[in-house]
Structure 1
Amino acid sequence: MKHLGSQIAYWDGVGATKTFTHPVNLNWLAGVSRDARVLDYGCGYGRVMAELSEHGFRDVSGVDLSPALIQRGRQLWPDLRFAVLECPPDLTDASGSFDVVLLFAVLTCVPDGHAQRALVEEVNRVLAPGGVLYVSDLVLQDDERNRSRYAAYARQSGTPYGLFATDDGAVCRHHDIAELRALLSDFDLVDERPIEVATMHGHRSQAVQLLARKR
């Protein structure tokens, strides 16, 4: 859990077969130019990229640390621009290269707090002044199944409450909403909305979306 690439074996294996479902609130992007430079960081197989492209965004690219997910995306949408993130969290792009960055169900896959902060710092670097950061992620669940696995993993590993291991081998993190807001403290929070999503394992779970702007 010390760096973003620590679970690449999972994402290149069973993780590359998953379906991702976090919805895009296009109303939040209504004021964004269709020529805006958009980056989907942790794009998976490009589902969100494809939706944005279908709605007129002309400069959309995506990066992911999993070559298998990138290959899946290229097969599904050969006209979209995909790249493998070779040395996460670092991007090869210059500072201020993007007007919009999306992090959809990415932080939940980065259980280590230091790695999360490094990721957000890198996103901040590549965003242009006034650029938009759109985050969608999982919050702490209040059902017995999740409470039990949070507690069990904390006892076993000495990690913060909210981390857990999935049955097929991933380590994930659900967040107190205050944790997510704190991660974005260098941005101006523009909007926030609770949502319900299906997880990659098919469970209905509570999530949150946050829209922030670079100062």
Structure 2
Amino acid sequence: MKDLGSQIAYWDGIGATKTFTHPVSLSWLAGVNPNARVLDYGCGYGRVMAEISDHGFSDVSGVDLSPTLIERGRESRPDLRFEVLDSPPDLTYASARFEVVLLFAVLTCIPDNDAQQALVAELSRVLAPGGLLYVSDVVLQDDERNRDRYAAHAQQFGTPYGVFATDDGAVCRHHDIAHLRALLPDFDMVQERKIEVATMNGHRSQAVQMLSRKRY
């Protein structure tokens, strides 16, 4: 999946030094059994995994395409389970393996529509019917700086509006909320909220969090 794999060099380099900030709404997981099997896809160095584990969840796994980020996670939290993705988005887990899947600031790192759809399909495969998918991602920004770089990147490369390159070399995407909702045809929305986050390069950006349930 070239749209994921092509940025491994970034995430194994400068990307591995970043601090990730999307907040976890633990109240959204209040009704989940603490023994539920949880997967954090694109876990980075395990920040979200650590938070929910410290909150009482006992069966938490994380996967990421960056060996450097995974090693950072293993060093900081050797008690947690980390795995490097060899061929993203493909997972080694059996179908319906998990009750909860977390997808925090991952779609923003995948500019291509087909690659996003393939990822969501794979997450749906490993999520049990009735299981929860918790997405947190960045939406389209309305300031001049972002509008200009969306337009410039679309004109130069023919990418969807919202794709842009950061100053330090990552290609990212900000999303129309309707696009994110449309990625989840097999899910029913449980909760949705708009939030503000600090980006990995220190800017303030508008984001959205969605909690949806896989249909039986």
Q: TM-score, normalised by structure 1?
A: 0.99
Partner residue in 1 for 2:212: 212
CA-CA distance at 1:2 after TM superposition: 3.9
Partner residue in 2 for 1:144: 144
The residue matched to 2:147 in structure 1 has which SS? Answer: helix
Extract unaligned runs of 5+ from structure 2.
none
CA-CA distance at 1:139 after TM superposition: 0.1
Partner residue in 2 for 1:3: 3
Partner residue in 2 for 1:119: 119
Tell me, yes or no, if the aligned pair for 1:194 and 1:206 is still in contact at 8 Å: yes
Q: TM-score, normalised by structure 2?
A: 0.98
Letter in 1 for 2:27: N
Letter in 2 for 1:144: E
Rounded to whole Å, the distance in 1 between the matches of 2:184 and 2:138 is 15
Rounded to whole Å, the distance in 1 between the matches of 2:125 and 2:111 is 22
Matches within 5 A, 1:14-53: 14-53=14-53
CA-CA distance at 1:32 after TM superposition: 0.1
The residue matched to 1:62 in structure 2 has which SS? Answer: strand
CA-CA distance at 1:6 after TM superposition: 1.4
The residue matched to 1:167 in structure 2 has which SS? Answer: coil
The residue matched to 1:178 in structure 2 has which SS? Answer: helix
Partner residue in 1 for 2:68: 68
CA-CA distance at 1:184 after TM superposition: 1.0
Letter in 1 for 2:75: Q
The residue matched to 1:142 in structure 2 has which SS? Answer: coil
Partner residue in 1 for 2:198: 198
CA-CA distance at 1:122 after TM superposition: 0.2
Rounded to whole Å, the distance in 1 between the matches of 2:169 and 2:63 is 23
Letter in 1 for 2:35: D
Rounded to whole Å, the distance in 1 between the matches of 2:85 and 2:179 is 25
Letter in 2 for 1:36: A
Tell me, yes or no, if the aligned pair for 1:2 and 1:112 is still in contact at 8 Å: no
Rounded to whole Å, the distance in 2 between the matches of 1:54 and 1:138 is 26
CA-CA distance at 1:3 after TM superposition: 3.0
Rounded to whole Å, the distance in 1 between the matches of 2:29 and 2:44 is 21
Tell me, yes or no, if the aligned pair for 2:132 and 2:212 is still in contact at 8 Å: yes
Tell me, yes or no, if the aligned pair for 2:46 and 2:73 is still in contact at 8 Å: yes
Runs of 4+ in 1 over 6 A off after TM superposition: none
Letter in 1 for 2:169: G
Matches within 5 A, 1:83-94: 83-94=83-94
Letter in 1 for 2:190: V
- State the identity %: 80
Partner residue in 1 for 2:165: 165
Rounded to whole Å, the distance in 2 between the matches of 1:7 and 1:112 is 13
Partner residue in 2 for 1:100: 100
Rounded to whole Å, the distance in 1 between the matches of 2:76 and 2:6 is 26
Rounded to whole Å, the distance in 2 between the matches of 1:192 and 1:72 is 31
Letter in 2 for 1:208: V
Question: What value does the CA root-mean-square deviation take over the aligned residues?
Answer: 0.8
Rounded to whole Å, the distance in 2 between the matches of 1:177 and 1:129 is 24
For this pair of structures, how many residues does the alignment match?
A: 215
